[in-house]
A and B are shown apart, each in its own frame.
Chain A
Amino acid sequence: MRDPYKVLGVSRNASEEEIKKAYRDLARKYHPDNYQNNPLADLAQEKMKEINEAYDAITKGRAGGAGGSEYYDSGSAGGGFNSGGGYGGNSDFIRARQAIASGNLGLAESILNQHQDGSAEWHFLMGSLNYRRGRFEQAEYGYRRAVELDPGNMEYRQALQYMQSGGSFYRPVTRTGMDSIDPLRCCGNLMLADCCCECMGGDLISCC
Protein backbone atom coordinates (compact mmCIF):
# COMPACT_ATOMS: atom_id res chain seq x y z
CA MET A 1 0.00 0.00 0.00
CA ARG A 2 1.12 3.55 -0.70
CA ASP A 3 2.05 5.87 2.13
CA PRO A 4 -1.35 6.88 3.60
CA TYR A 5 -0.18 10.45 4.23
CA LYS A 6 0.76 10.81 0.61
CA VAL A 7 -2.56 9.41 -0.52
CA LEU A 8 -4.40 12.08 1.45
CA GLY A 9 -1.84 14.72 0.46
CA VAL A 10 -1.02 15.82 4.02
CA SER A 11 2.23 16.03 5.92
CA ARG A 12 3.12 13.53 8.64
CA ASN A 13 2.59 16.02 11.44
CA ALA A 14 -0.74 17.30 10.19
CA SER A 15 -3.39 17.81 12.83
CA GLU A 16 -6.43 15.62 13.09
CA GLU A 17 -8.59 18.41 11.67
CA GLU A 18 -6.35 18.82 8.63
CA ILE A 19 -6.43 15.12 7.95
CA LYS A 20 -10.17 15.01 8.27
CA LYS A 21 -10.53 17.95 5.92
CA ALA A 22 -8.20 16.44 3.32
CA TYR A 23 -10.07 13.18 3.54
CA ARG A 24 -13.45 14.87 3.18
CA ASP A 25 -12.32 16.89 0.17
CA LEU A 26 -11.01 13.81 -1.59
CA ALA A 27 -14.08 11.77 -0.71
CA ARG A 28 -16.26 14.52 -2.13
CA LYS A 29 -14.24 14.43 -5.32
CA TYR A 30 -14.36 10.69 -5.92
CA HIS A 31 -17.81 10.08 -4.54
CA PRO A 32 -19.82 7.60 -6.65
CA ASP A 33 -22.46 10.29 -7.20
CA ASN A 34 -19.99 12.15 -9.42
CA TYR A 35 -19.40 9.04 -11.51
CA GLN A 36 -22.95 7.88 -12.15
CA ASN A 37 -22.94 5.62 -15.18
CA ASN A 38 -19.50 7.00 -16.01
CA PRO A 39 -17.11 4.79 -18.03
CA LEU A 40 -14.36 5.58 -15.52
CA ALA A 41 -16.47 4.72 -12.46
CA ASP A 42 -14.29 1.71 -11.62
CA LEU A 43 -11.17 3.90 -11.37
CA ALA A 44 -13.01 6.35 -9.13
CA GLN A 45 -14.07 3.45 -6.95
CA GLU A 46 -10.46 2.33 -6.63
CA LYS A 47 -9.44 5.85 -5.63
CA MET A 48 -12.22 5.96 -3.07
CA LYS A 49 -11.09 2.67 -1.63
CA GLU A 50 -7.51 3.88 -1.48
CA ILE A 51 -8.36 7.06 0.42
CA ASN A 52 -10.71 5.21 2.76
CA GLU A 53 -7.93 2.79 3.60
CA ALA A 54 -5.43 5.59 4.02
CA TYR A 55 -7.72 7.52 6.34
CA ASP A 56 -8.40 4.39 8.29
CA ALA A 57 -4.71 3.56 8.61
CA ILE A 58 -3.85 7.04 9.86
CA THR A 59 -6.67 7.35 12.39
CA LYS A 60 -6.13 3.83 13.67
CA GLY A 61 -2.41 4.35 13.94
CA ARG A 62 -2.89 7.58 15.87
CA ALA A 63 -5.64 6.59 18.23
CA GLY A 64 -4.29 3.13 18.81
CA GLY A 65 -7.08 1.39 16.97
CA ALA A 66 -10.00 3.59 18.00
CA GLY A 67 -10.88 5.93 15.09
CA GLY A 68 -12.02 5.40 11.58
CA SER A 69 -15.71 5.27 12.24
CA GLU A 70 -16.72 8.15 9.99
CA TYR A 71 -16.68 6.71 6.53
CA TYR A 72 -17.83 7.57 3.10
CA ASP A 73 -19.59 4.79 1.32
CA SER A 74 -17.78 3.69 -1.81
CA GLY A 75 -20.77 1.51 -2.61
CA SER A 76 -22.55 1.28 -5.88
CA ALA A 77 -20.25 3.08 -8.30
CA GLY A 78 -20.41 1.83 -11.82
CA GLY A 79 -24.01 0.81 -11.62
CA GLY A 80 -26.89 2.46 -13.33
CA PHE A 81 -28.97 5.11 -11.68
CA ASN A 82 -30.92 3.02 -9.28
CA SER A 83 -29.34 -0.36 -9.29
CA GLY A 84 -31.70 -1.55 -6.57
CA GLY A 85 -34.75 -0.57 -8.59
CA GLY A 86 -37.40 -2.82 -10.02
CA TYR A 87 -35.71 -5.16 -12.42
CA GLY A 88 -38.00 -6.37 -15.14
CA GLY A 89 -38.67 -10.03 -15.57
CA ASN A 90 -36.76 -10.26 -18.85
CA SER A 91 -33.54 -12.14 -18.20
CA ASP A 92 -31.88 -10.71 -21.31
CA PHE A 93 -32.46 -7.22 -20.05
CA ILE A 94 -30.94 -8.19 -16.71
CA ARG A 95 -27.88 -9.42 -18.58
CA ALA A 96 -27.78 -6.19 -20.58
CA ARG A 97 -27.99 -4.19 -17.37
CA GLN A 98 -25.08 -6.10 -15.87
CA ALA A 99 -23.07 -5.68 -19.06
CA ILE A 100 -23.60 -1.91 -19.01
CA ALA A 101 -22.71 -1.71 -15.32
CA SER A 102 -19.50 -3.68 -15.82
CA GLY A 103 -18.52 -1.62 -18.85
CA ASN A 104 -18.90 -4.41 -21.38
CA LEU A 105 -20.71 -2.15 -23.82
CA GLY A 106 -20.23 -4.33 -26.89
CA LEU A 107 -22.06 -7.21 -25.20
CA ALA A 108 -24.84 -4.91 -23.96
CA GLU A 109 -25.28 -3.53 -27.45
CA SER A 110 -25.55 -6.94 -29.07
CA ILE A 111 -28.09 -8.13 -26.48
CA LEU A 112 -30.18 -5.01 -26.95
CA ASN A 113 -29.98 -5.26 -30.72
CA GLN A 114 -31.27 -8.80 -30.56
CA HIS A 115 -34.26 -7.85 -28.43
CA GLN A 116 -35.59 -4.71 -30.01
CA ASP A 117 -39.05 -4.96 -28.57
CA GLY A 118 -39.55 -1.21 -28.24
CA SER A 119 -40.58 -1.57 -24.60
CA ALA A 120 -39.95 1.08 -21.99
CA GLU A 121 -37.15 -0.95 -20.45
CA TRP A 122 -35.47 -1.45 -23.81
CA HIS A 123 -35.49 2.30 -24.44
CA PHE A 124 -34.20 2.93 -20.95
CA LEU A 125 -31.33 0.48 -21.39
CA MET A 126 -30.47 1.98 -24.78
CA GLY A 127 -30.43 5.35 -23.04
CA SER A 128 -28.07 4.02 -20.37
CA LEU A 129 -25.79 2.48 -22.96
CA ASN A 130 -25.66 5.68 -24.97
CA TYR A 131 -25.05 7.72 -21.84
CA ARG A 132 -22.05 5.61 -20.95
CA ARG A 133 -20.71 6.04 -24.45
CA GLY A 134 -21.04 9.80 -24.09
CA ARG A 135 -23.76 9.94 -26.72
CA PHE A 136 -25.96 12.27 -24.73
CA GLU A 137 -28.46 13.17 -27.41
CA GLN A 138 -29.40 9.54 -27.93
CA ALA A 139 -29.33 8.93 -24.18
CA GLU A 140 -31.86 11.67 -23.59
CA TYR A 141 -34.04 10.27 -26.34
CA GLY A 142 -33.95 6.77 -24.83
CA TYR A 143 -34.85 7.98 -21.33
CA ARG A 144 -37.62 10.19 -22.68
CA ARG A 145 -39.20 7.34 -24.64
CA ALA A 146 -38.98 5.09 -21.59
CA VAL A 147 -40.79 7.64 -19.44
CA GLU A 148 -43.42 8.18 -22.12
CA LEU A 149 -44.10 4.47 -22.33
CA ASP A 150 -44.05 3.85 -18.59
CA PRO A 151 -44.65 7.13 -16.77
CA GLY A 152 -45.01 5.46 -13.39
CA ASN A 153 -41.50 4.03 -13.26
CA MET A 154 -39.35 6.02 -10.85
CA GLU A 155 -36.08 4.68 -12.20
CA TYR A 156 -36.77 5.95 -15.70
CA ARG A 157 -38.01 9.27 -14.43
CA GLN A 158 -34.96 9.74 -12.25
CA ALA A 159 -32.66 9.00 -15.18
CA LEU A 160 -34.46 11.47 -17.42
CA GLN A 161 -34.43 14.09 -14.72
CA TYR A 162 -30.70 13.56 -14.17
CA MET A 163 -30.08 13.87 -17.90
CA GLN A 164 -32.10 17.05 -18.30
CA SER A 165 -30.69 18.72 -15.22
CA GLY A 166 -27.17 18.54 -16.62
CA GLY A 167 -25.95 15.99 -14.09
CA SER A 168 -24.18 16.37 -10.78
CA PHE A 169 -20.43 16.54 -10.86
CA TYR A 170 -17.69 17.59 -8.49
CA ARG A 171 -16.69 21.23 -8.60
CA PRO A 172 -14.02 22.82 -6.46
CA VAL A 173 -14.93 25.91 -4.48
CA THR A 174 -16.00 28.51 -7.00
CA ARG A 175 -14.40 31.86 -7.34
CA THR A 176 -15.49 34.93 -5.48
CA GLY A 177 -17.63 37.12 -7.64
CA MET A 178 -15.92 40.51 -7.99
CA ASP A 179 -15.10 39.90 -11.61
CA SER A 180 -18.24 41.40 -13.07
CA ILE A 181 -17.41 44.86 -11.77
CA ASP A 182 -15.04 46.56 -14.16
CA PRO A 183 -13.57 49.62 -12.40
CA LEU A 184 -12.94 51.53 -15.63
CA ARG A 185 -16.43 50.98 -16.91
CA CYS A 186 -17.82 51.80 -13.50
CA CYS A 187 -16.03 55.19 -13.59
CA GLY A 188 -17.18 55.81 -17.15
CA ASN A 189 -20.75 55.05 -16.25
CA LEU A 190 -20.63 57.46 -13.35
CA MET A 191 -19.26 60.21 -15.58
CA LEU A 192 -21.91 59.52 -18.15
CA ALA A 193 -24.60 59.65 -15.51
CA ASP A 194 -23.17 62.93 -14.28
CA CYS A 195 -23.25 64.41 -17.81
CA CYS A 196 -26.84 63.27 -18.24
CA CYS A 197 -27.81 64.85 -14.96
CA GLU A 198 -26.12 68.10 -15.92
CA CYS A 199 -27.94 68.16 -19.24
CA MET A 200 -31.18 67.90 -17.36
CA GLY A 201 -30.18 70.71 -15.04
CA GLY A 202 -29.16 68.59 -12.04
CA ASP A 203 -25.78 67.32 -10.86
CA LEU A 204 -24.61 63.92 -9.72
CA ILE A 205 -20.95 64.59 -8.95
CA SER A 206 -20.67 68.15 -7.74
CA CYS A 207 -16.96 68.69 -8.40
CA CYS A 208 -17.12 68.09 -12.17
Chain B
Amino acid sequence: MFGFVRPDKAELKVRDYELYRAVYCGLCHSLKKRCGAAGRFIINYDFTFLAMLLSHAETGCSLCVKKCVVSPLKGRKACIATAPDGGSAILEACADMSVILAWWKLKDGMRDEAFFKAAACRIGAAFLRRGYKKAAAALPGFADNCRKRIEELELLERAGCSALDDVSDKFALILAGAAEAAGTENERRILSQLLYQLGKLIYMLDALCDYDDDLRAGRYNPLRTKYGSRPDRSALEPQLSHILGFITSAYELLDGGAFSPVLENIMYLGLPSVVSMTLEGRYTQKLRKRREPGL
Protein backbone atom coordinates (compact mmCIF):
# COMPACT_ATOMS: atom_id res chain seq x y z
CA MET B 1 0.00 0.00 0.00
CA PHE B 2 2.91 2.33 0.68
CA GLY B 3 6.16 3.41 -0.86
CA PHE B 4 5.05 5.53 -3.80
CA VAL B 5 5.31 9.08 -2.51
CA ARG B 6 8.95 10.07 -2.56
CA PRO B 7 11.00 13.06 -3.62
CA ASP B 8 13.52 12.96 -6.42
CA LYS B 9 16.52 13.22 -4.14
CA ALA B 10 19.01 14.29 -6.80
CA GLU B 11 16.96 17.41 -7.46
CA LEU B 12 16.62 18.48 -3.81
CA LYS B 13 18.80 21.16 -2.25
CA VAL B 14 20.82 19.86 0.68
CA ARG B 15 18.96 22.04 3.18
CA ASP B 16 15.61 20.77 1.89
CA TYR B 17 16.84 17.22 2.01
CA GLU B 18 17.90 17.74 5.62
CA LEU B 19 14.51 19.19 6.45
CA TYR B 20 12.88 16.17 4.90
CA ARG B 21 15.10 13.81 6.87
CA ALA B 22 14.35 15.72 10.05
CA VAL B 23 10.60 15.36 9.59
CA TYR B 24 11.11 11.67 8.90
CA CYS B 25 13.11 11.36 12.12
CA GLY B 26 10.50 13.32 14.04
CA LEU B 27 7.73 11.09 12.76
CA CYS B 28 9.71 8.02 13.77
CA HIS B 29 10.10 9.37 17.30
CA SER B 30 6.38 10.08 17.49
CA LEU B 31 5.70 6.53 16.37
CA LYS B 32 8.03 5.20 19.02
CA LYS B 33 6.17 7.16 21.64
CA ARG B 34 2.91 5.67 20.42
CA CYS B 35 3.78 2.01 20.04
CA GLY B 36 7.29 1.40 21.28
CA ALA B 37 10.02 -0.23 19.23
CA ALA B 38 7.47 -1.72 16.83
CA GLY B 39 6.83 1.81 15.59
CA ARG B 40 10.16 1.91 13.81
CA PHE B 41 9.03 -0.81 11.44
CA ILE B 42 6.04 1.06 10.14
CA ILE B 43 7.70 4.43 9.53
CA ASN B 44 7.48 5.32 5.87
CA TYR B 45 8.05 8.20 3.53
CA ASP B 46 4.44 8.55 2.50
CA PHE B 47 3.47 9.80 5.92
CA THR B 48 6.49 12.05 6.05
CA PHE B 49 4.99 13.68 3.00
CA LEU B 50 1.60 13.85 4.69
CA ALA B 51 3.08 15.58 7.74
CA MET B 52 4.71 18.18 5.50
CA LEU B 53 1.59 18.62 3.43
CA LEU B 54 -0.58 19.23 6.48
CA SER B 55 1.93 21.84 7.69
CA HIS B 56 2.29 23.39 4.22
CA ALA B 57 1.98 27.00 5.37
CA GLU B 58 4.44 26.83 8.30
CA THR B 59 7.51 29.00 8.02
CA GLY B 60 9.84 26.46 9.57
CA CYS B 61 10.02 23.74 12.16
CA SER B 62 11.61 23.19 15.55
CA LEU B 63 14.60 20.90 15.40
CA CYS B 64 16.44 19.06 18.12
CA VAL B 65 19.16 16.42 18.08
CA LYS B 66 17.82 13.07 19.18
CA LYS B 67 19.57 9.76 19.64
CA CYS B 68 18.06 6.49 18.58
CA VAL B 69 19.00 2.94 17.60
CA VAL B 70 19.95 4.04 14.10
CA SER B 71 22.27 6.74 15.35
CA PRO B 72 22.99 5.92 19.02
CA LEU B 73 26.07 8.08 19.60
CA LYS B 74 25.88 11.14 17.46
CA GLY B 75 22.15 11.47 17.21
CA ARG B 76 20.28 13.06 14.35
CA LYS B 77 18.46 16.27 13.82
CA ALA B 78 14.81 15.48 14.31
CA CYS B 79 11.88 17.75 13.79
CA ILE B 80 9.89 17.81 17.01
CA ALA B 81 7.16 20.06 15.73
CA THR B 82 6.32 21.05 12.16
CA ALA B 83 5.96 24.68 13.18
CA PRO B 84 8.57 27.18 14.35
CA ASP B 85 6.99 27.47 17.79
CA GLY B 86 4.12 25.12 18.08
CA GLY B 87 2.96 21.79 19.32
CA SER B 88 3.69 18.50 17.65
CA ALA B 89 0.02 17.87 16.93
CA ILE B 90 0.44 17.24 13.21
CA LEU B 91 3.39 14.87 13.64
CA GLU B 92 1.45 12.94 16.25
CA ALA B 93 -1.66 12.82 14.09
CA CYS B 94 0.37 11.53 11.15
CA ALA B 95 2.00 8.91 13.36
CA ASP B 96 -1.43 7.81 14.55
CA MET B 97 -2.76 7.62 11.02
CA SER B 98 0.16 5.51 9.88
CA VAL B 99 -0.37 3.15 12.84
CA ILE B 100 -4.04 2.81 11.97
CA LEU B 101 -3.34 2.09 8.30
CA ALA B 102 -0.51 -0.31 9.10
CA TRP B 103 -2.80 -2.16 11.48
CA TRP B 104 -5.44 -2.65 8.79
CA LYS B 105 -2.82 -3.68 6.28
CA LEU B 106 -1.66 -6.41 8.68
CA LYS B 107 -5.25 -7.50 9.23
CA ASP B 108 -5.64 -7.69 5.48
CA GLY B 109 -2.48 -9.79 5.23
CA MET B 110 -3.69 -12.15 7.96
CA ARG B 111 -6.69 -12.95 5.82
CA ASP B 112 -5.27 -13.00 2.32
CA GLU B 113 -1.68 -14.16 2.49
CA ALA B 114 -0.34 -17.71 2.45
CA PHE B 115 0.34 -19.51 5.74
CA PHE B 116 3.77 -18.20 6.68
CA LYS B 117 3.18 -14.65 5.62
CA ALA B 118 -0.18 -14.63 7.38
CA ALA B 119 1.54 -15.82 10.54
CA ALA B 120 4.07 -13.01 10.24
CA CYS B 121 1.23 -10.53 9.87
CA ARG B 122 -0.40 -11.99 12.97
CA ILE B 123 2.78 -11.48 14.99
CA GLY B 124 3.12 -7.95 13.67
CA ALA B 125 -0.47 -7.17 14.59
CA ALA B 126 0.14 -8.48 18.10
CA PHE B 127 2.97 -5.99 18.51
CA LEU B 128 0.89 -3.18 17.12
CA ARG B 129 -2.31 -3.86 19.05
CA ARG B 130 -1.65 -1.46 21.91
CA GLY B 131 -0.40 1.24 19.60
CA TYR B 132 -3.47 0.86 17.42
CA LYS B 133 -5.79 1.19 20.40
CA LYS B 134 -4.11 4.39 21.51
CA ALA B 135 -4.04 5.81 17.99
CA ALA B 136 -7.70 4.97 17.39
CA ALA B 137 -8.59 6.65 20.67
CA ALA B 138 -6.69 9.77 19.63
CA LEU B 139 -8.26 9.92 16.15
CA PRO B 140 -11.66 8.26 16.51
CA GLY B 141 -13.06 9.83 13.33
CA PHE B 142 -10.20 8.72 11.13
CA ALA B 143 -10.10 5.21 12.62
CA ASP B 144 -13.82 4.79 12.21
CA ASN B 145 -13.82 6.02 8.62
CA CYS B 146 -10.86 3.75 7.89
CA ARG B 147 -12.62 0.67 9.28
CA LYS B 148 -15.80 1.43 7.35
CA ARG B 149 -14.03 2.00 4.04
CA ILE B 150 -11.92 -1.11 4.41
CA GLU B 151 -15.02 -3.18 5.05
CA GLU B 152 -16.61 -1.76 1.91
CA LEU B 153 -13.42 -2.39 -0.03
CA GLU B 154 -13.37 -5.99 1.17
CA LEU B 155 -16.92 -6.53 -0.02
CA LEU B 156 -16.05 -5.18 -3.46
CA GLU B 157 -12.88 -7.24 -3.63
CA ARG B 158 -14.69 -10.39 -2.65
CA ALA B 159 -17.27 -9.74 -5.35
CA GLY B 160 -14.41 -9.43 -7.83
CA CYS B 161 -15.31 -5.84 -8.71
CA SER B 162 -13.64 -4.67 -11.90
CA ALA B 163 -14.74 -1.02 -11.83
CA LEU B 164 -11.50 0.73 -11.02
CA ASP B 165 -13.34 3.93 -10.09
CA ASP B 166 -15.34 2.17 -7.39
CA VAL B 167 -12.59 0.24 -5.67
CA SER B 168 -10.05 3.03 -5.76
CA ASP B 169 -12.72 5.38 -4.43
CA LYS B 170 -12.92 3.47 -1.16
CA PHE B 171 -9.21 3.63 -0.54
CA ALA B 172 -9.09 7.26 -1.63
CA LEU B 173 -11.75 8.18 0.92
CA ILE B 174 -9.53 6.83 3.69
CA LEU B 175 -6.76 9.26 2.80
CA ALA B 176 -9.20 12.11 2.23
CA GLY B 177 -10.20 11.61 5.87
CA ALA B 178 -6.78 12.96 6.85
CA ALA B 179 -7.83 16.42 5.66
CA GLU B 180 -10.25 16.79 8.57
CA ALA B 181 -7.53 18.34 10.69
CA ALA B 182 -7.11 21.31 8.32
CA GLY B 183 -7.92 24.81 9.44
CA THR B 184 -10.23 26.73 7.14
CA GLU B 185 -13.11 25.47 5.04
CA ASN B 186 -11.29 26.13 1.75
CA GLU B 187 -8.16 24.44 2.99
CA ARG B 188 -10.17 21.38 3.93
CA ARG B 189 -11.70 21.29 0.47
CA ILE B 190 -8.34 21.55 -1.24
CA LEU B 191 -6.60 19.03 0.98
CA SER B 192 -9.37 16.47 0.82
CA GLN B 193 -9.40 16.73 -2.98
CA LEU B 194 -5.63 16.39 -3.10
CA LEU B 195 -5.54 13.44 -0.73
CA TYR B 196 -8.49 11.78 -2.40
CA GLN B 197 -6.71 11.82 -5.74
CA LEU B 198 -3.47 10.75 -4.12
CA GLY B 199 -5.31 7.79 -2.61
CA LYS B 200 -6.61 6.84 -6.05
CA LEU B 201 -3.13 7.12 -7.48
CA ILE B 202 -1.64 4.94 -4.75
CA TYR B 203 -4.35 2.32 -5.16
CA MET B 204 -3.91 2.13 -8.92
CA LEU B 205 -0.12 2.03 -8.74
CA ASP B 206 -0.37 -0.68 -6.12
CA ALA B 207 -2.65 -2.72 -8.38
CA LEU B 208 -0.23 -2.27 -11.27
CA CYS B 209 2.79 -3.22 -9.18
CA ASP B 210 1.23 -6.32 -7.68
CA TYR B 211 -0.36 -7.45 -10.89
CA ASP B 212 1.95 -10.34 -11.75
CA ASP B 213 2.19 -11.57 -8.15
CA ASP B 214 -1.57 -11.44 -7.68
CA LEU B 215 -2.14 -13.31 -10.89
CA ARG B 216 0.31 -16.05 -9.91
CA ALA B 217 -1.15 -16.41 -6.41
CA GLY B 218 -4.73 -16.27 -7.69
CA ARG B 219 -5.49 -13.18 -5.60
CA TYR B 220 -7.88 -10.40 -6.45
CA ASN B 221 -6.57 -7.58 -8.57
CA PRO B 222 -8.86 -4.84 -9.86
CA LEU B 223 -7.14 -4.77 -13.26
CA ARG B 224 -7.54 -8.46 -13.87
CA THR B 225 -11.00 -8.68 -15.39
CA LYS B 226 -10.29 -5.70 -17.55
CA TYR B 227 -6.86 -6.53 -18.82
CA GLY B 228 -6.62 -10.31 -18.61
CA SER B 229 -3.30 -11.99 -18.09
CA ARG B 230 -1.20 -9.31 -19.76
CA PRO B 231 -2.19 -5.81 -18.76
CA ASP B 232 -1.81 -3.05 -21.27
CA ARG B 233 -0.19 -0.65 -18.86
CA SER B 234 -0.18 2.23 -21.28
CA ALA B 235 -4.00 2.16 -21.36
CA LEU B 236 -3.93 3.53 -17.81
CA GLU B 237 -1.56 6.36 -18.63
CA PRO B 238 -4.14 9.05 -19.48
CA GLN B 239 -6.10 8.33 -16.31
CA LEU B 240 -3.00 8.50 -14.17
CA SER B 241 -2.03 11.73 -15.87
CA HIS B 242 -5.39 13.32 -15.02
CA ILE B 243 -5.04 12.14 -11.43
CA LEU B 244 -1.58 13.70 -11.21
CA GLY B 245 -3.00 16.88 -12.72
CA PHE B 246 -5.79 17.05 -10.16
CA ILE B 247 -3.23 16.54 -7.41
CA THR B 248 -0.92 19.32 -8.56
CA SER B 249 -3.72 21.73 -9.42
CA ALA B 250 -5.11 21.29 -5.91
CA TYR B 251 -1.65 21.73 -4.41
CA GLU B 252 -1.09 25.04 -6.19
CA LEU B 253 -4.07 26.52 -4.38
CA LEU B 254 -2.48 25.99 -0.96
CA ASP B 255 -0.33 28.64 0.69
CA GLY B 256 3.36 27.89 0.50
CA GLY B 257 5.84 27.75 3.36
CA ALA B 258 9.13 26.25 4.43
CA PHE B 259 8.20 22.82 3.12
CA SER B 260 7.26 24.03 -0.37
CA PRO B 261 10.51 23.03 -2.12
CA VAL B 262 10.23 19.45 -0.90
CA LEU B 263 6.52 19.24 -1.58
CA GLU B 264 6.96 20.65 -5.07
CA ASN B 265 9.75 18.20 -5.75
CA ILE B 266 7.48 15.32 -4.74
CA MET B 267 4.54 16.62 -6.77
CA TYR B 268 6.30 17.51 -9.97
CA LEU B 269 9.28 15.17 -10.04
CA GLY B 270 8.92 12.32 -7.56
CA LEU B 271 5.35 11.24 -8.28
CA PRO B 272 5.57 11.49 -12.08
CA SER B 273 8.72 9.38 -12.18
CA VAL B 274 7.20 6.76 -9.87
CA VAL B 275 4.17 6.68 -12.16
CA SER B 276 6.20 6.25 -15.33
CA MET B 277 8.45 3.65 -13.69
CA THR B 278 5.39 1.70 -12.57
CA LEU B 279 3.85 1.91 -16.03
CA GLU B 280 7.04 0.50 -17.47
CA GLY B 281 7.05 -2.22 -14.82
CA ARG B 282 10.31 -1.01 -13.32
CA TYR B 283 9.04 0.01 -9.89
CA THR B 284 9.58 -3.21 -7.97
CA GLN B 285 8.77 -4.27 -4.40
CA LYS B 286 12.43 -3.83 -3.56
CA LEU B 287 12.35 -0.23 -4.67
CA ARG B 288 9.18 0.42 -2.72
CA LYS B 289 10.53 -0.95 0.51
CA ARG B 290 13.96 0.59 0.45
CA ARG B 291 14.99 2.84 3.29
CA GLU B 292 16.59 5.43 1.06
CA PRO B 293 14.33 8.45 0.95
CA GLY B 294 14.74 9.49 -2.66
CA LEU B 295 14.28 7.84 -5.98
Contacts and interface: CB of A to CB of B under 8 A. Distances in A.
Given A40-B189, A179-B10, A136 B253 contact: no
A166 B268 contact: no
B285 interface: no
Chain A CB within 10 Å — which of B190, B197, B241 has the most? B241
Contacts of B11: 175, 179
B229 to A, nearest CB: 20
B238 A130 contact: no
Interface in B250-269: 250, 252-253, 264, 268-269
Interface stretch (A30-38, A114-122, A183-191, A192-200): A30-38
Given A40-B250, A135-B165, A137-B165, A163 B242 contact: yes
A43 B77 CA distance: 38
Contact of A34 (B164, B169, B249, B264): B249
A30 B245 CA distance: 13
Nearest to A9: B256
A44 B245 CA distance: 14
A35 B245 CA distance: 9
Given A134-B200, A137-B163, A170 B249 contact: yes
Contacts of A172: 264, 268
Given A40-B189, A40-B190, A166-B241, A134 B246 contact: yes
Contact of B186 (A43, A135, A166): A43
A163 B246 CA distance: 13
A71 B166 CA distance: 42
B260 to A, nearest CB: 11
Contacts of B243: 134, 136
User: What is the predominant secondary structure among interface residues of chain B facing chain A?
Assistant: helix
Given A134-B246, A163-B238, A163-B242, A39 B252 contact: no
Contact of B241 (A134, A167, A175): A167
Contacts of A134: 172, 193, 196-197, 200, 243, 246
Interface size class of A (residues with CB under 8 A): 20 to 34
B239 interface: yes
A164 B238 contact: yes
B247 to A, nearest CB: 9
A44 B269 contact: no
Contacts of A44: 249, 252-253
Nearest to A178: B10
Contacts of B238: 136, 140, 163-167
B112 interface: no
Interface string A106-147: 000000000000000000000000110011111010000000
B237 interface: yes
Interface of A: 29-30, 34-35, 38-40, 43-44, 47, 130-131, 134-138, 140, 163-172, 174-175, 179
24 contacts: A29-B252, A30-B252, A38-B249, A40-B190, A40-B249, A43-B186, A47-B253, A130-B165, A136-B239, A138-B165, A140-B238, A163-B238, A163-B242, A164-B238, A165-B238, A166-B242, A166-B245, A169-B244, A169-B245, A170-B248, A170-B249, A170-B252, A179-B10, A179-B11
Interface of B: 10-11, 163-165, 169, 172, 186, 189-190, 193, 196-197, 200, 237-239, 241-246, 248-250, 252-253, 264, 268-269
